[in-house]
A and B are shown apart, each in its own frame.
Chain A
Amino acid sequence: MLMQAQTQAGSAAAERDRHFIRVENVCKDFANGKTTRNILNDVSFSVAKGSFLSILGASGCGKSTLLQVIAGLHNTTSGSVRLADKVIEKPPFELVYLFQQYTKSIFPWLTVTQNIAFGMESRKKWSRAEIAQRCQSMIKLVGLEDYGDYYPQQLSGGMQQRVAIARALACEPDVLLMDEPFSAVDAMTRGALQDLVLKLWKDLGLTILFITHDIEEAVYLSDRIIMLRRSPQNLVLDIPVELPYPRDRLSTPELPKFLEYRHMLYKKIYQIEGEH
C-alpha cells in the first residue's frame, strides 16, 4: 500500500513535470479605442519541465503577447496559465522574462555588478555577502570578468545582453522566457550567445521558452518548436526536434534531419504567408 502511494505520488510529480507550464484556453484581447482586437484565441499547450521550446511566427502573430501572459505581465482575457499547478496571477519568482529591448532593460545608473544584483535584492533569499558572491560567479558564468564595475553604456550590445542573462539567472529561476533575445546582435555574437544559452540550459536544468524569427536558430537550439499565426487559429504547428545534444555549430546544421526540419518549417511559414 505504501508502495502504491509512493508510485502515485511519483506519477503525480511526473505528471506535474510534464505539464510544468500549462496554457489553458488562453484568450487575450486588447482594447483599441472603441474596438477590441483579439490577439490570442483559445490557445492551449503544455511545456514539460526542462524543455527548450522555441516559438516561431511572423510579426504581429501574438508571440510576445503570449510570452508576456505566461510571465504574468499581462492578464488573460479568459483562460489561465499555470506554473507547477499554480495559476499565474502576477509575475512569479520562479520565472524571469528577458526583454527583447535589453538595452532598455538593464539600468544605466547601475554598474554591471549592481545590475546583476538587482533581481536578487528583491527576493530576500540571499544575504548581502551571498549576493556579492553570486554576482561574481554569474559574471564569470557569462564571461564578463573585469567588467563588473563598468556601466552599461560602456559595453557592446552582446555584452549588455550577457548582463541581462546573468541578472535573470542570478535569481535561480526555473523558467526563462526569452523574447527574440539575439535579434539585435551581430551574427558572430549571436552564435556565441546561443551556445552560452544552450550550456546554461543544460547545466542549470532550466526550462526555456524562446521566441525567434529565425528558423535555423529555432531548430539549432530547441527540443520542441511551436508555430503561431494570427488569431483565430493561433497554434498551427507543434513538433519535437529530435536532434542530439550537445549541438555543434558546424556539424548540427549539416545533419540531414536539421535540413528536413528547416525545409518543413520554411514551407509552413510560406504557406501561412500565402493565406494572408
Chain B
Amino acid sequence: MPKKNLFNTRFTGVLLIVALLALWEAVVRLGVIDALTFPPVSDVVGSWISLLADGTILENLGASLYRMFFGFFVAAIFGISIGLCMGYLRWIDNLLEPLVELLRPVPVPAYIPIAILVLGLGTTMKVSLIAAAAFFPLLLNTYAGVKAVDPVQINTGRTFGLGFFPILRRIVLPAAIPNIFTGLRISLGISLIMVVISEMVAANSGIGFFILQAQRTFEVSNMYAGIFTLGVVGYLLNFTFVRIERRIVHWNKR
C-alpha cells in the first residue's frame, strides 16, 4: 500500500503557488525590487477586489468573452465542416490541401495590418482574427480524425446498406469526435490569446485593452489584476471544457 504522504497529493502544488506569492510579497516589501513595476501581491489583490466590485473587470471580461466565443464558434463551424469534407472526400482534399499547407504556417497576428485595413478597428476585425487563428487547429484535428476512421467501421456501415451521408453522419462523425474535441480545446486556448492581442492593437474595451491601458496610465497593480483575471478565466474555461469533453467522449479512455 502506498504511503499517504503529503508529496503524493495535489496539495504540494497549491503550496508552491502560495510560497511563490509570499516570496513575491516579501521581495517587494523588503525593497529588493522596485515596487513601481512590481507592486506587492497584497496591492494587486486589493485592486482586483475593488475592480471586481465596481464592475470594471466584469464589463471588460464580458466584451472579451463575447468576441472570443463569436470567433471561436465561427472557426468551429468552418473548421469542423471543412475538415470533415477534406477527410471524407478525396477531391476536396486534393483541392484544398495545398492551400491549407500554404496558409497554415503564417502566424495569424501577421494578418492584423490587413485586417485593420480591410475591416477597420471594430468587432468584425477582432472576431475575424480570432476565427482565423482558431480555424486551423480545428480543421487539422477534424481532418486527422476522419482520416483515422478504421475502414472496418465504414465497411460495416456499407454492409448494413448505409449510403454516403448516413455513413458520414452515423459513423465518420462520431468516430472523429475525440479528435474534434482535441481541436476545440486547442482552439479555445488560441482564441483567448488572440482576443487579448487584438484588443491590445485596437479596442476601447476588453481585458486586453484594460491591461494595456493600465500600463500606460501607470496603474500597475490594475495591470496585474487584469493578467490575474486572464489566468483565472483561462483555467475555468479549460476546466469546464474538459468536463464537457469527458461527458460526450465517454468511450475514449486515454
A→B interface (CB under 8 Å): 71-73, 90-93, 95-97, 99, 101, 104-105, 107-109, 118-119, 122-123, 151-153, 171
Residue in contact with A122 in the complex, picked from B153, B166, B251, B253, CB distance below 8 Å: B166
Query: In the complex where A109-B174, A109-B177, A109-B251 touch, is A104 in contact with B159 (Cβ < 8 A)?
Result: no
* Chain A proximity of B253: nearest CB distance (Å): 7
A96 & B159 in contact (Cβ 8 Å cutoff):
yes
B160 & A118 in contact (Cβ 8 Å cutoff):
yes
B158 & A73 in contact (Cβ 8 Å cutoff):
yes
Contact residues in A for B253 (Cβ distance below 8 Å): 153
Contact residues in A for B153 (Cβ distance below 8 Å): 104-105, 107
Beyond A122-B160, A153-B251, 5 additional pairs, beta carbon < 8 A: A91-B158, A107-B153, A107-B156, A151-B251, A153-B253
Number of interface residues of B (CB under 8 A): 20
Chief secondary structure at chain A's binding surface: loop
Q: Is the C-beta of B202 less than 8 angstroms from some C-beta in chain A?
A: no
Contact residues in A for B175 (Cβ distance below 8 Å): 107, 109
* Chain B proximity of A114: nearest CB distance (Å): 11
Task: For the complex, give the distance between the alpha carbons of A71 and B250 in Å.
Answer: 33
Minimum CB distance partner of B160 in chain A: A119
Count of inter-chain pairs, beta carbons less than 8 A: 55
Minimum CB distance partner of B153 in chain A: A104
Minimum CB distance partner of B251 in chain A: A108
Query: In the complex where A107-B171, A153-B251, A153-B253 touch, is A73 in contact with B159 (Cβ < 8 A)?
Result: yes
Q: Is the C-beta of B63 less than 8 angstroms from some C-beta in chain A?
A: no
**6 sampled A-B residue pairs with Cβ under 8 A:** A96-B160, A99-B156, A104-B150, A105-B153, A107-B174, A109-B174
Task: For the complex, give the distance between the alpha carbons of A253 and B90 in Å.
Answer: 52
A91 & B156 in contact (Cβ 8 Å cutoff):
no
Contact residues in A for B251 (Cβ distance below 8 Å): 108-109, 151-153
* Chain A proximity of B227: nearest CB distance (Å): 40
Residue in contact with B155 in the complex, picked from A92, A99, A108, CB distance below 8 Å: A99
Contact residues in A for B177 (Cβ distance below 8 Å): 109
* Chain A proximity of B153: nearest CB distance (Å): 6
Q: Is the C-beta of B95 less than 8 angstroms from some C-beta in chain A?
A: no
Best-buried of B159, B161, B162, B252 by chain A (most CB within 10 Å): B159
Tell me the chain B residues, 159-204 only, with Cβ under 8 Å from chain A. 159-162, 166, 170-171, 174-175, 177
* Chain B proximity of A263: nearest CB distance (Å): 36
Contact residues in B for A72 (Cβ distance below 8 Å): 158-159
Scan B120-160; emit 1 where CB is below 8 A from any A CB, else 0. Answer: 00000000000000000000000000000010110110111
